[in-house]
Structure 1
Amino acid sequence: MNPSSESRRDFLRKAALAGGGLALGAALPFDLFAGSEKKEFFQISLAQWSLNPVLFSGKLKNMDFPEKAKKDFGIDIVEYVSPFFQKQESNPAYVKELKQRTDDLGISNHLIMVDGEGDLGNTDAAARKKAVENHYKWIDVAKALGCRTIRVNAAGRGTPDEVKSAAIEGLSMLSDYGRQNKINVIVENHGGISSNGQWLASVMKGVNSPYCGTLPDFGNFRISSTEEYDRYQGVKELMPYAKGVSAKSFDFDASGNETTIDYIKMFEIIKAARWSGIVGIEYEGSKLPPDEGIRKTKVLLEKVRGHFK
C-alpha cells in the first residue's frame, strides 16, 4: 500500500473487507492500524522476547512488561510471549489485572506469540487435534486482553508435503476458532521448513482464510544447520499474507544500521507489497544489553520510516 495516500489506504481496506479479493494483508480483518488516524507507513511495537534475559531471570515480570515498554522506550504497543505468563493465562484475575494495567497506561495489546503448545503440523491426526485445542486458550486470552492476533508455529515432522497438508488442516481448524472470536492466527518463519518462504506461502494459500496469515521475521530463515533461505526473497513471499512484521536485530554499525540485515531493502519489499501495520522490535543480539539494543532498533525503524515519507 502506498503510505502517502490516505484515500488509497481507505480504498484498499474497504474493498478487501467487502470482497476479500485483495491480498490478505495486515488490514484484513483486524489490524490495530485499521481505524487509526495515524498516517505513518507503520507503527512500532515491542516484542517481549527482546527482554527475554531479564524475564527468564525473574528481574522483570510479565505483568510489568507493558509499563517498561512505555516508560523506558516510549512504546505503547506490545507483543507478549506465552511462556512468560508462567501458566497464569488460565487465571481470569491475572488476565483482568494485566488488561487493566495496560488500559491505565494507554497501551495497546497487539499479539501473543504462542510456543510450547504442540505442533500444528503434526502428521498424527490425534496429536495435531490436541495441539489445536491447546491453542484455544490463547485465543481466549488474546480476546480478553484486546489483542488482535496470536502467533503460532507451523511445525511438524515428515516430508515437506506431509507437513504442509497437516499444517493446512491444523491451521484451518485453529483459524476457524479465531474467526469465531475475531482473533487472527498468524505463522512466523521460525526454523525448519517454516523458514522456507515459498513453502509457508503455499500453506497460507491452502488455508485460504482471512483469519490466517504470516508474521515475516527478518532473521528466522535458517532451515537447517546447512541451509539458509534468502531472507529478502522469504519476506517478499510472505508479505501478501502478513498481519504484522518482526524487525529482528542483532548488532549495529557506527551509523546505527543493522550489520546483517539491510533494513531499507526490507522495507522497500514491504512497501512494494502495499502493506501497512505494526512492526515489532525483536532485538536478539548479545553484544549490547537488551535495553540498548531495543533503543537502537527503535531509532533505526524511525529513520527507515522517515526515509519513506
Structure 2
Amino acid sequence: MKTLEASIGRRGFLAGSLVFGNLLRAALPSAPNPSANFPTDPRRRLSVSTYPFRSLIKTRQRNSENANAKLTLAEFAASIPDRFQVSGIEPWSLHFESTGLQYVQALGESFKKAGVHVVDIPVDASVQPCSPDSARRQASLETWRAWVDVAVAIGSPSIRVHLPETGADDCIAGGLKQLVDYAIQKSIVVNLENDDPKSEEAFRVVKVIEQVNSPFLRALPDFCNSRIVGDEAYNYRALTAMFAHAYNISHVKDEEADDGKVLKVDVARVFAIAKKAGYRGYFSMEWEGQGDPYDGTKRLIQQSLDNLS
C-alpha cells in the first residue's frame, strides 16, 4: 500500500487542518503506555480495510483505478456489519473526503450510526522529515500531526505512517520521535508497516522502532508483504520480529501479487506467530488477491475466525 497522498495538497491540507488542530491541542491526559481495551471475542477482533476497495470508493483525486468509483467512505462503512458480519473498519487516508473537523466529526457519527468503529488509519502522505529545507521538515511534521488529530476525532487508537524513502535512519528516527511525542499527548499509537520492499523492509522497521524506543511507536505486521523481499522462511522470520513490536493492528492476507507472480502465505502459521508473541490487537483484512475484493475479504474473515476460535 504505497500510494502517495497526492490528493492532499500540502497547503490545502494544512489550511483545512489548522482550526481542527487548534481545537484538539487541549491535550488529553498523557499515559506512559497505550491503554486500549481490546476485545477477546474472535469476530470483534476483526476489521475490514478499505484499501482493497479503492476502485469502488471515491477519493478526492480520480485516476484510472477509481474512475468509476461511486461509494463514499461513509456509504461503504454502512455496508460492513451486514455484508461482513464484523464491526471494525480501517479507513485508508485517501478515502477521507477532507481532514477538516466538520467532515471528520460527521464521518465519525456516520460510523457510530452504522455500528462500526475505527481500528487504525493507514496514512499515505507525502512527507520529507529529513529534507534540507527546514520549512519542508516542519510541514511534514504538521502533516503527520494533523492525522493524529483526525484519529482523536474519529476514535481511532492509531495511525500508520510510512518510513520516508530518503534520509538516514538517525534522521528518520528523530522525525518520528517528534511525531510520537505529539501522539503521546493524544494517547494515539503510531505504527510502522513492513510495506514498501525497499524503504520498509521488516528488519529496518524494527531497527527504527527500537531506536526511537517508545511504547507509542509500534509495528504493523502485514502477513504477506515481506514475501516480496524473500522466501516463505524469510517472511516468517520477518513477521516474528514485527509481532514482537506490534500493539493494536495487523494486516491479514493469504497472497500478494508481485510482477506477475502470486506469492502465497500460510495464514495459520502467521496466526500462530502472533499468538506466540502475545499479540492481543486487531486483525484487519487487506485482501490483495485476484478476483472480487468482497469475496476475497470474506474468505480472509473466515480464515481468521478459524484460527482465532
User: Structure 2-normalised TM-score?
Assistant: 0.77
Tell me the distance in 1 between the aligned counterparts of 2:236 and 2:132. 33
Structure 2 residue 73 is matched with structure 1 residue 62: yes
SS at match of 2:89: strand
Tell me the distance in 2 between the aligned counterparts of 1:131 and 1:200. 19
Structure 2 residue 104 is matched with structure 1 residue 95: yes
* 8 A contact 1:42–1:305 mirrored in 2: no
- Give the number of the structure with larger relative contact order, counting CA–CA contacts within 8 Å between residues 6 or more apart: 1
Tell me the distance in 1 between the aligned counterparts of 2:132 and 2:224. 30
C-alpha distance 275-45 of structure 1, shift in aligned 2 (>3 A): same
C-alpha distance 149-32 of structure 1, shift in aligned 2 (>3 A): farther
The match for 1:10 is none
The match for 1:108 is 117
2:221 partner letter: P
1:130-158 deviation line (CA, Å, top 9, x unaligned): 32211111111110001100000012225
Tell me the distance in 2 between the aligned counterparts of 1:125 and 1:234. 34
**Bigger CA drift: 142-151 or 56-65?**
56-65
1:72 partner letter: R
* 8 A contact 2:227–2:263 mirrored in 1: no
The match for 2:303 is 300
* 8 A contact 1:185–1:211 mirrored in 2: yes
What's the CA shift for 1:194? Answer: 4.1
2:92 partner letter: V
Structure 2 residue 158 is matched with structure 1 residue 154: no
- CA-atom RMSD in angstroms: 2.4
The match for 1:228 is 230
SS at match of 1:154: coil
What's the CA shift for 1:125? Answer: 6.4
Unaligned ranges ≥5, structure 1? 1-18, 21-27, 252-257
What's the CA shift for 1:106? Answer: 2.4
Tell me the distance in 2 between the aligned counterparts of 1:265 and 1:119. 37
What's the CA shift for 1:123? Answer: 5.5
Tell me the distance in 1 between the aligned counterparts of 2:159 and 2:79. 22
What's the CA shift for 1:279? Answer: 0.4
The match for 1:13 is none
* 8 A contact 1:264–1:304 mirrored in 2: yes
The match for 1:3 is none
User: Structure 1-normalised TM-score?
Assistant: 0.77
What's the CA shift for 1:39? Answer: 4.8
C-alpha distance 101-42 of structure 1, shift in aligned 2 (>3 A): closer
Tell me the distance in 2 between the aligned counterparts of 1:194 and 1:281. 23
> Percent of aligned positions with the same letter in both sequences?
25
1:147 partner letter: S
1:70-129 deviation line (CA, Å, top 9, x unaligned): 12111201111111113x112x22112111112122221111110023145x36463444
SS at match of 2:45: strand
The match for 2:194 is 189
* 8 A contact 2:120–2:156 mirrored in 1: yes
